[in-house]
């Protein structure tokens, strides 16, 4: 099935939840990041009849409004990882957290971001003050020495969580594990646009904020509504410092933390309750029996 199911090690996290050894194939389409659309990339051709496995009821409602009736709410892989890693026990230990981790809006292998990284770095330093700053870059930006050097020269610790992978190759299955370890170290998580990382940070109890030049994505899709739609959907998050209880409630809703499926039920939805096989040529839209 679609290679995006394995972005950021998502399929591997769900396999751990279900107690299933890898490698695995999800028989359906798994939402791989927070968005303002139906949970999937604009223009992706998804075969009708296969489940669209989304994080939250809000995403499912948007899909249904577009006439797409195959949406199943299962919760985000990140939410399953928190349960697997005993996040409530970790919080009770009251670990020390310090500094701010920054996730600038990023493109991907097919679309670049246009913006002034130097000006953004200066804005972050001015607003965050004299605290340790970590800049987490998408791997293509991290491997660009010109971009990385901008932040390093301004005193940022510069990291990446790894590669999300492409066409079932070169992905880091422990991507989310690395991200969780970093988020647990930091007191604040900020970005110049709404995205998955902010929800992840809020779900760990970090303070979050959105500010700064939102930058521009080459050939962005107008149907997504850009920054203005993000502000309309989540106005309470677009400020330098969001109250933790507000951010955590939004994260719980958007990550579908109240909609996680028990292992056996999730395995059935993913096509793992028996030996799955692809549809036949005579019946191309049939799910595996």
Of 280 and 19, the one with more pLDDT: 19
Residues 6+ apart with CB under 8 A from 169: none
The answer to whether 81 and 175 have CB atoms below 8 angstroms apart is no
Length of the chain: 289
pLDDT, residue 281, reads 40
Looking at every residue in the chain, the average pLDDT score rounds to: 85
Q: Is residue 158 part of a domain?
A: yes
Closest-CA residue to 250 (of 213, 205, 203, 289): 203
pLDDT recorded at residue 282: 37
- CA distances (Å), 13 to each of 8, 16, 22, 31, 274, in order? 9, 5, 10, 14, 19
Flag whether 133 is in a domain. Answer: yes
Q: Which is it for strands 71-73 and 52-54: parallel, antiparallel or unpaired?
A: parallel
Residue 163 has pLDDT above 80, yes or no: yes
Spatial contact of 214 and 228, defined as CB atoms under 8 Å apart: no
- Residue pair 88/79 in contact by the 8 Å Cβ criterion: no
214 shares its domain with 260:
no
Give residue 213's domain range. Answer: 86-254
The answer on 117 and 73 residing in a single domain is no
Whether residue 201 is predicted with pLDDT greater than 50 in this model: the reply is yes
Residues 78 and 97 in one domain: no
The b/e string for 234-248 (b: 16+ C-beta within 10 A; e otherwise) is: beebbeeebeeeebb
CATH, residue 188: 3.40.50
**Could you tell me if residue 274 is inside a domain?**
no
281 assigned to some structural domain: no
74 lies in the same domain as 110: no
Query: What is the tens place of the pLDDT at every residue in 101-147?
Result: 999 986 555 556 677 899 999 999 999 999 999 999 988 889 999 99
pTM here is 0.88
Backbone angles phi, psi at 74, to 5 degrees: -125, -10
Q: Are residues 72 and 191 in the same domain?
A: no
Residue 106 lies in a domain: yes
Establish if 279 belongs to a structural domain. Answer: no
If DSSP states are collapsed to H, E and C, what string results for 69-82? Answer: CCEEECCCHHHHHH
Give the pLDDT of residue 287. 37
């Amino acid at each position: 099935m679609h290679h995006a199911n394995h972005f950021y090690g998502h399929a591997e996290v769900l396999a751990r939840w279900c107690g299933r050894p890898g490698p695995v194939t999800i028989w359906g389409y798994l939402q791989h990041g927070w968005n303002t659309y139906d949970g999937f990339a604009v223009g992706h051709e998804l075969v009708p009849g296969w489940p669209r496995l989304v994080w939250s009821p809000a995403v499912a409602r948007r899909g249904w409004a577009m006439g797409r009736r195959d949406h199943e709410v299962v919760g985000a892989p990140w939410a399953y990882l928190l349960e697997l890693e005993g996040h409530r026990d970790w919080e009770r230990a009251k670990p020390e957290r310090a500094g701010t981790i920054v996730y600038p809006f990023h493109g991907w292998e097919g679309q670049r971001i246009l913006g002034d990284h130097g000006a953004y770095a200066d804005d972050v330093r001015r607003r965050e003050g004299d605290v340790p700053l970590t800049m987490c870059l998408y791997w293509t930006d991290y491997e660009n020495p010109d971009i990385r050097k901008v932040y390093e020269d301004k005193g940022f610790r510069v990291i990446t969580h790894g590669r999300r992978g492409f066409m079932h190759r070169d992905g880091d299955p422990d991507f989310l594990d690395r991200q969780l370890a970093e988020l647990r170290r930091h007191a604040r998580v900020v970005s110049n646009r709404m995205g998955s990382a902010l929800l992840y940070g809020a779900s760990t109890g970090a303070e979050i904020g959105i500010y700064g030049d939102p930058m521009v994505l080459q050939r962005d899709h107008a149907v997504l509504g850009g920054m203005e739609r993000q502000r309309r959907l989540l106005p309470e998050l677009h400020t330098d410092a969001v109250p933790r209880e507000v951010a955590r409630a939004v994260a719980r809703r958007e990550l579908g933390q109240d909609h996680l499926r028990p292992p056996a039920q999730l395995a059935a939805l993913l096509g793992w309750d028996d030996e799955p096989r692809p549809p036949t040529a005579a019946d191309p839209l049939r799910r595996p029996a």
